Chain A
Amino acid sequence: MSVERGDSFELYRWLYRTMFTIRTVEERLARSFMAGLIHGACHTYVGEEAVAAGVCAGLTDDDAVFSTHRGHGHALAKGVSPAALIAELYGRETGISNGRGGSMHLFAPEIGLMGTSGIVGPCILQAAGAGYSARLLGNGGVGVAFFGDGAVGNGAFHEGLNLAAIYDLPVLFVCENNLYATEVPFSYASRNPDVASRASSYGMPGVGVDGNDVLAVHEAAIEALRRARAGEGPTLIEAKTYRTRPHAEGMGLTGVYRTEEEVAEWREKDPISRFRRRILSEGTMTASDLDRIEADVRTEVEEAEREAADSPWPDGGTADRHVYRETV
């Protein structure tokens, strides 16, 4: 998806539809988890939709996204269909990785989704690598890493940002600071409460942005992409946001780490209803336009779920395929 910046209607429609799709898929997956249809972990992106949508609206299929354990939103915003995503979590043959990966290993390289990951940190390094490829091969692509505040204390953050900076790589480092690494507060894990300011240590710009404001995220991403494509090097974006569901489905919504009141406060800042109010106040689209998008998305997601549930299981006899490219 790369939307012309001047065309507000198309941009807003894409952003709204993408965010609403992520929300609807995630809420569907949460119900599916309770129903036992998802066989492994399921980390939802509810509350953080503006970050994936705002960044991915500026990307093409040649730009490579490297994501995290909380990666459904990035996959959908990059263009994976709800049917292929849900089927993967259901462990089915029609899943995006034919059931080899599940929630934390979603790959669609043909559209630049280079994987979600069960390990915190590597996506930062791999995005730098995509930037290196883009420079070496001169193909104009950009590497994009999405990661949480939990990755900021990891060595991969330091090494990846430094490497991207010294080689002037076309890379966006997008930190989704949702305040908690699983259930460990960032305020505990870091003496510096700010992520964006760390960019100066690596000699690159750092931009802090309201991660629940999709247009603010998009604007920051567009400028970072402009820099990257112009050969001006990487940018660190810190999008301050919040997940309003548990760390993973089946875990508590709150615990020793946060209160019901805090979750309620952040629900008031919900990025989708906020964007809806903004669209209506600007008059870019009408309420019925937005309602129609929502109805379409709901239908698509319910059909995708049915399709996934009806899909065959992968044949156990294929479990050893694709370990190597070449058989010797």
Chain B
Amino acid sequence: MTEKTFTEAAREALSDAMDADPAIFVVGEGAGERGGNFETTAGLYEKHGPLRLCDTPICERGFIGMCTGAAMTGARPVVDFMFTDFILDGLGELINQTSKMQYMSNGRLKMPMVLRGCIGIGHSAATHHSGSYYPFFVHIPGFRVALPSNPADAKGLFATALRGEDPVFFMEHRHLLNLKGPVPDGEHRVPFGQAAVVREGTDATVVALTVMVHHALQVAEELSGEGISLEIVDPRTVAPLDVETILASVRKTGRLLIVDETFMPCGIGAEISAHVTEHGFDELDAPIKRLNGAHVPTPYSPSLERAVVPDRTTIEETVRELLAE
């Protein structure tokens, strides 16, 4: 184990994979010589050159389509979007082409493409640089969606994405990029579809995604002083979603809260809630609760911004409501 930041850990996975596989190349605005807006590719240009660390014009649709064609013909593109908001210019390519290519070709084409970008509210970045949008992609057959919450998972999930054959969204919360933590040295892969129980408890289950895992852990620590025992589950990937681990936790606790920064309607919380209701209704001692970011575009001013995203206070309040049911 070595202490690394989230970004360093993900970069290590990328660097190792690029050393092992000459078909991997990275495209993005500033992904080349500059080393990435968030240092996602720092040092790799010097090693691999401009064809494998490829700067692009500002044309997300264009380079998503180009990378789709490259993946169809034997290359393994990594698209570095800088901000996930920028993906939206290429949704037609992604949803009509990238996600469907294996199916349309009756399984004869592979689509090994990794789509990475920064997500998340909290830097007064306003509404064109704060989006997360991953529930969109969960809805579409053909995509995988990875949401690492710590440096070790950033390395392990990215390594899995880079060696798979399906298109994967790898989304990195801006609050986590400089988070430090122990990261396994050498080969480290985290399989998709395996949630982590990051804290064990008995009174209620909190399923939290990306940065919300850390808020939930802090709330759990605080409430433990009052004798309240929370179990925290981090799904790590939402496509596929490890429903079994969540159900097992709910069987133990009887209560469930899902905390997610993205919008509530048709979201991950709704999906988890439906699964638990369908398959674990008799285990529930209280109605399931969801806590989401407000269903509004992201505002700029810090005071407005704070009001639209779950935090420790609102998580704690919601947990208390859940326990009082």
Residues on A lying within 8 angstroms of B by beta carbon are 64, 66, 97-98, 100-101, 105, 107, 109-110, 114-115, 117-119, 122, 124-130, 132-137, 139, 141, 143, 155-156, 158-160, 162-163, 166-167, 321-326, 328
Contacting residues, chain B, for A119 (C-beta < 8 A):
92, 96-97
Contacting residues, chain B, for A110 (C-beta < 8 A):
108
Within 8 Å by CB of A126, from B66, B92, B166, lies: B66
Binds A, one of B72-80, B210-218, B262-270, B311-319: B72-80
Contacting residues, chain B, for A167 (C-beta < 8 A):
54
Please state if A114 and B108 are interface contacts (CB–CB under 8 Å). Answer: no
Please state if A125 and B191 are interface contacts (CB–CB under 8 Å). Answer: no
A250 to B129, CA, bound (A): 47
Residues on B lying within 8 angstroms of A by beta carbon are 22-23, 25, 51-52, 54, 56-57, 59, 61-75, 77, 92-93, 96-97, 101-111, 141-142, 144, 164-166, 191-193, 240
Q: In the complex, what's the smallest C-beta–C-beta distance from A279 to chain B, in angstroms?
A: 36
Please state if A98 and B52 are interface contacts (CB–CB under 8 Å). Answer: no
| A119-B92, A135-B51, A325-B165 as given contacts; A100 in contact with B104, CB under 8 Å | yes
Please state if A156 and B73 are interface contacts (CB–CB under 8 Å). Answer: no
Please state if B72 and A64 are interface contacts (CB–CB under 8 Å). Answer: yes
Please state if B66 and A125 are interface contacts (CB–CB under 8 Å). Answer: yes
Please state if B61 and A155 are interface contacts (CB–CB under 8 Å). Answer: yes
| A136-B52, A325-B110 as given contacts; A126 in contact with B104, CB under 8 Å | no
Q: In the complex, what's the smallest C-beta–C-beta distance from A103 to chain B, in angstroms?
A: 12
Contacting residues, chain A, for B56 (C-beta < 8 A):
163
Please state if B106 and A125 are interface contacts (CB–CB under 8 Å). Answer: no
A324 to B145, CA, bound (A): 13
Please state if B108 and A321 are interface contacts (CB–CB under 8 Å). Answer: no
A220 to B263, CA, bound (A): 53
Please state if B107 and A322 are interface contacts (CB–CB under 8 Å). Answer: yes
Contacting residues, chain B, for A136 (C-beta < 8 A):
22-23, 25, 51-52, 70, 75
Please state if A122 and B96 are interface contacts (CB–CB under 8 Å). Answer: yes
Q: A129-B67, A137-B74 are known contacts; what are 8 more A-B pairs with Cβ within 8 Å?
A: A100-B103, A126-B97, A129-B65, A137-B22, A160-B62, A163-B57, A323-B103, A326-B165
Within 8 Å by CB of A159, from B23, B65, B70, B191, lies: B65
Contacting residues, chain B, for A139 (C-beta < 8 A):
74
Q: In the complex, what's the smallest C-beta–C-beta distance from B50 to chain A, in angstroms?
A: 9
| A135-B51, A163-B57 as given contacts; A126 in contact with B164, CB under 8 Å | no
List the 3 closest pairs (A to B, CB-CB), nearest first. Answer: A129-B69, A125-B65, A159-B62
Please state if A126 and B240 are interface contacts (CB–CB under 8 Å). Answer: no
A158 to B77, CA, bound (A): 21
Q: In the complex, what's the smallest C-beta–C-beta distance from A134 to chain B, in angstroms?
A: 7
Determine the residue in chain B with the shortest Cβ distance to A160.
B62
Contacting residues, chain B, for A124 (C-beta < 8 A):
65
Please state if A122 and B73 are interface contacts (CB–CB under 8 Å). Answer: no
Within 8 Å by CB of B72, from A97, A129, A159, lies: A129
Most buried by A among B70, B165, B191: B70
Please state if B106 and A130 are interface contacts (CB–CB under 8 Å). Answer: no
| A107-B109, A128-B66 as given contacts; A324 in contact with B142, CB under 8 Å | yes
Please state if A114 and B109 are interface contacts (CB–CB under 8 Å). Answer: yes
Contacting residues, chain A, for B62 (C-beta < 8 A):
125, 128, 155-156, 158-160, 162-163
Contacting residues, chain A, for B164 (C-beta < 8 A):
325-326
Contacting residues, chain A, for B54 (C-beta < 8 A):
167
Please state if A126 and B165 are interface contacts (CB–CB under 8 Å). Answer: no
Please state if A159 and B52 are interface contacts (CB–CB under 8 Å). Answer: no
Please state if B61 and A98 are interface contacts (CB–CB under 8 Å). Answer: no
Q: In the complex, what's the smallest C-beta–C-beta distance from A106 to chain B, in angstroms?
A: 9
Please state if A130 and B52 are interface contacts (CB–CB under 8 Å). Answer: no
Can you list 18 A-B contacts with CB-CB less than 8 angstroms, sorted by A residue number? A64-B72, A66-B69, A115-B105, A118-B96, A126-B66, A132-B67, A136-B22, A143-B73, A156-B62, A156-B65, A159-B57, A159-B63, A160-B62, A322-B102, A322-B103, A324-B144, A325-B165, A328-B240
